[in-house]
Structure 1
Amino acid sequence: MKAKILVVDDETDLELLIRQKFRRQIREQQYEFVFAYNGVDALEKLQQNPDIDVVLSDINMPEMDGLTLLIKLGELNPLTKAVIVSAYGDMDNIRTAMNRGAFDFICKPVNFEDLEVTMLKTLKHVDQLRETLKAIKENDILRMYVDESVLKFMDRREFESSLMSNENIEVTTVFIDICGFTAITERENADTVVKLINSYFDIMVKEIIAQGGYVDKFMGDAVMAVFRGEYHLDRAIESALAVRNHIEATKNDLSDDRTYTPQVAIGINTGEVISGNIGSATLRRLDYTVIGDAVNTAQRLQAVAQAGQILIPESAYQLVKDSFRCEPLGELRLKNKAQPVAVYQVIE
């Protein structure tokens, strides 16, 4: 069940930070956030959204501060619990907040891991209160839920069977290249080269699968991956960031006593493609893959990306600019493209 959380803070950059830090939980519908900019605005949002579970509130705000809001909240909905999130972490403010019904207190700057743990603890408390109230009103047996792992397995089977048909679909394609690996192949023996590249590919594959994507093919020292379904572009970028971070944290000793720290160059694009069984019937070699301009553009972006860069076109940037921090690189000339393409680099 999705938890609904009201964030009350006059600092608008907190809203952007929360949307970025909890983007996975938001798209997976674990959390729904509502935002207000002072206590008066918060009371209006609470009346409009009576199903809010938890309130995260600052103290120092115009019109109505967080400590006054705590009193009003207790009168409006005693089942909704508040956590104070403030830079004013002195004992007087903490004691006043607790005496007025705050469930917990977090000091700024916010540690988002601590914030999520506190949110989960508060949500659990709210759920217990509601279950207790429900038990008093009625003595029903709790509804039994289908195990989530079974549902995920069914979704995966449906996804795999859908690959067996030729169709036009919306996907995100990712090309990941290991930078400078050709030089390694020229200096190291075959066993070392294969061992290294397989270890890098294994890191990539794990991160791709973790975000619900699949590896379309291995091409030399590069990987092509495809993401489809809900939020396929977001999940593809999440995967690319994880691959980059894990690959760059890897170090390998080479035969000439040097240490090799691999880096990747990544191109990502989203759009309609043709998915089908493509290959040669004569050779009896057919692969289920995707083709189209969106795929070609992703590969061209990877080709111009520098080590450590994750590049997306402006069309993709417009879809994810609220969830990821990106920097514009201007217009770049891509192979076989008549016009320059506006390109952005994903930072985090």
Structure 2
Amino acid sequence: MKTHILVVDDEADLELLIKQKFRRQIRENVYEFRFAANGEEALASLAAHPDTDVLLCDINMPVMDGLTLLSNLPAANPVAKAVMVSAYGDMQNLRTAMNRGAYDFVTKPVDFADLERTMEKTAAHVQQLRQTLLAIRENNILKMYVDETVINFMGRPGFENQLLVSETVEATVVFFDLCGFTALSEGQPAGVVVPLLNAYFDSMVQEIIAHEGHVDKFMGDAVMAVFRGAYHLDRAVDAALAVRALLAATQSPLPDGSTYQPRVSIGVNTGDMVSGNIGSATLKRLDYTVIGDAVNVSQRLQAAAQAGQILVSEATYQRLKESFQCQPVGEAHLKNKAAPVMTYEVVA
């Protein structure tokens, strides 16, 4: 990997000397040198070349000296490291330079073998910094696409051997669907629809998290959330009520001067379900999710719900009727259910 080095020195013959001493490395693309006569030119070079790895920097220069340049280096390029090149008699300035963040120093007259070793060491340190920053960025991006439960699971020793392990859990699943959003998306440009949908999702997610649930997945303009642990049903219904109230109070202006009033239909169901990594090992794509009849019923209750309704089944109603105000809606024919299912609407 090529190392990009910026030499900052007002000695006119240094550029020629550097090119002569490192001609083989330059020819083999090991090093690429750039040159600046003072700190001000160096800052301009750093702005134009953010890939700069190492600075070889004199201390005493006109316009802007090396110590001032060091003070500006973190803002100009927080990863690049400076190696100060100065005389032994400048030791006090060298100590000041080290206190301002210089990585190392070499003394004049320059021992070019020592200088090369110092450059290699400094470049290796910078490369390690870049890799660490890249890993942090990739991890942050990963968190945008992968549930935190999976991130934590991946950190466990031997997680690869546990990928296909599943368990039966008791939990509550809630499906939220934005009513009429598909029709809205057909009449509005993508630049309007996507930010609007993401804003609604973000508001919904905040309420789900506030009630200790987690988002299992986004499906078009719908959200599937799972609640586990103590009082999972109560927390799920509280989240559903909060999301409904939040969206009911939202008015979104559209480019044509009209406003869109988001409304949500919600299905809630509780019971035993299988939790595990579901997907294809061949494609190396797995979803850490829940499946089972309790999950299917929740989705079908949402499909049966009208805008603004929170529907639950008879069995779920019996478990929450003492804590929430509900009213009967009637029997519904749910897919893959032989008999009609009595449904109730959670009012408050």
TM-score of Structure 1 vs Structure 2, range by shorter chain: 0.5 to 0.7
Shift, 1:168, TM fit: 0.4
Shift, 1:254, TM fit: 1.3
Name the CA distance, whole Å, in 2 between partners of 1:263 and 1:227: 22
Name the CA distance, whole Å, in 1 between partners of 2:258 and 2:301: 31
For 1:202, the equivalent position in structure 2 comes to 202
For 2:327, the equivalent position in structure 1 comes to 327
After superposition, the C-alpha distances for 1:112-164 in whole angstroms (9 at most, x for unaligned) are xxxxxxxxxxxxxxxxxxxxxxxxxxxxxxxxxxxxxxxxxxxx989965997
Shift, 1:256, TM fit: 2.2
Highest CA radius of gyration, 1 or 2? 2
The 1:279/1:238 distance shift into structure 2, 3 A limit, reads: same
Q: Does 1:193 align with 2:193?
A: yes
Q: Give the letter for the 2:228 counterpart.
A: R
Shift, 1:283, TM fit: 1.1
After superposition, the C-alpha distances for 1:43-85 in whole angstroms (9 at most, x for unaligned) are xxxxxxxxxxxxxxxxxxxxxxxxxxxxxxxxxxxxxxxxxxx
Shift, 1:253, TM fit: 1.1
Q: Give the letter for the 2:220 counterpart.
A: G
After superposition, the C-alpha distances for 1:241-294 in whole angstroms (9 at most, x for unaligned) are 000000111101112221111000000000000001101111111010000000
Q: Does 1:254 align with 2:261?
A: no
For 2:264, the equivalent position in structure 1 comes to 264
Contiguous gaps of at least 5 residues in structure 1: 1-155
Q: Does 1:296 align with 2:299?
A: no
**Poorly superposed stretches of 4+, deviation over 6 Å:** 156-159
Q: Give the letter for the 2:201 counterpart.
A: F
2:265–2:302 Cα contact (<8 Å) kept:
yes
2:181–2:221 Cα contact (<8 Å) kept:
yes
Paired residue secondary structure (2:182) = helix
Shift, 1:301, TM fit: 0.3
Q: Give the letter for the 1:308 counterpart.
A: G
Q: Give the letter for the 2:188 counterpart.
A: E
2:327–2:344 Cα contact (<8 Å) kept:
yes
For 2:179, the equivalent position in structure 1 comes to 179
The equivalences for 1:161-240 within 5 A come to 161=153, 165-240=165-240
Name the CA distance, whole Å, in 2 between partners of 1:283 and 1:198: 28
Paired residue secondary structure (1:257) = coil
Name the CA distance, whole Å, in 1 between partners of 2:290 and 2:152: 14
Paired residue secondary structure (2:223) = strand
Name the CA distance, whole Å, in 2 between partners of 1:282 and 1:170: 30
Name the CA distance, whole Å, in 2 between partners of 1:190 and 1:233: 36
Name the CA distance, whole Å, in 1 between partners of 2:207 and 2:192: 23
For 1:278, the equivalent position in structure 2 comes to 278
Name the CA distance, whole Å, in 2 between partners of 1:207 and 1:196: 17
The equivalences for 1:1-348 within 5 A come to 161=153, 165-348=165-348
Identity %: 61
Paired residue secondary structure (1:312) = strand
Shift, 1:337, TM fit: 1.1
Q: Give the letter for the 1:232 counterpart.
A: H
For 2:114, the equivalent position in structure 1 comes to none
Paired residue secondary structure (2:339) = coil
Q: Give the letter for the 1:180 counterpart.
A: G
Name the CA distance, whole Å, in 2 between partners of 1:313 and 1:283: 37
Paired residue secondary structure (2:282) = coil
Name the CA distance, whole Å, in 2 between partners of 1:265 and 1:158: 28
The 1:308/1:160 distance shift into structure 2, 3 A limit, reads: farther
After superposition, the C-alpha distances for 1:218-245 in whole angstroms (9 at most, x for unaligned) are 0000000000001100000000000000
The 1:279/1:326 distance shift into structure 2, 3 A limit, reads: same
Q: Which TM-score applies when normalising by structure 2?
A: 0.53
Contiguous gaps of at least 5 residues in structure 2: 1-147, 157-161
Q: Which TM-score applies when normalising by structure 1?
A: 0.53
Paired residue secondary structure (1:243) = helix
The 1:160/1:212 distance shift into structure 2, 3 A limit, reads: farther
Paired residue secondary structure (1:250) = coil
Q: Please give the root-mean-square deviation of Cα atoms over the aligned residues, in Å.
A: 2.1
Name the CA distance, whole Å, in 2 between partners of 1:157 and 1:173: 16
2:150–2:288 Cα contact (<8 Å) kept:
no
Name the CA distance, whole Å, in 1 between partners of 2:346 and 2:284: 40
The 1:158/1:192 distance shift into structure 2, 3 A limit, reads: closer
Name the CA distance, whole Å, in 2 between partners of 1:242 and 1:261: 16
Paired residue secondary structure (1:234) = helix
